[in-house]
Amino acid sequence: MAYITLDQAKQYLGDIYESAYINVSTDLVDETILQDDIEGVTSVIDSYVKQTYNQTLTGSQTLQMMRSISEQLLYAKAYERFDSSEVPDWVKDRYDRGIFRLKDIQNGTMILVDETQSPRDSGFYYSFNSADNNGKGRTNFDRDSMAGY
């Protein structure tokens, strides 16, 4: 599910839409290129968010935040298409802020408060635990228990 519609993306991009999304073979603005970029941005967002939330996002505040991040990433993508050698610093900064926000969601630093699902537990804690001698409990590996190995 895309977090931004084609019409919303066109409105957000404004003048750069017509400059960045020209089909080189027809010299006309091509919506399918923009739609491909929307799908690409959605995939990037999902690659971060789905590591913490495994169901479809439904909260209105969350969806608004995902739309905002989509806009930030999409604007950078449009500038890449328009003139990749002259991407303004403010566009790069907005892209970076969007990615940092996604990383915060991914590692659990930022919780999506209006989501009905709970974030997944971190697998990091359990990756350093193993069964005890009888196979039932879990023993933490720490400096003392690993001494001598």
Residue-range domain boundaries for the chain: 6-117
Decide if pLDDT at 143 tops 80: no
pTM of the model: 0.74
137 pLDDT band, cuts 50/70/90, is low
Decide if pLDDT at 101 tops 90: yes
The pLDDT value recorded for residue 41 is 96
As given in the structure block, the two tokens for residue 49 are: 């968010």
Q: What is the DSSP letter of 116?
A: S
CB of 93 closer than 8 Å to CB of 100: no
Residue among 53, 56, 5 at smallest CA distance from 31: 5
Buried b / exposed e along 66-85 (16+ C-beta atoms within 10 A): bbbbbbbbbbbbbbeebeee
Helices (H), 1-149: 6-13, 15-20, 31-49, 60-83, 89-106, 123-127
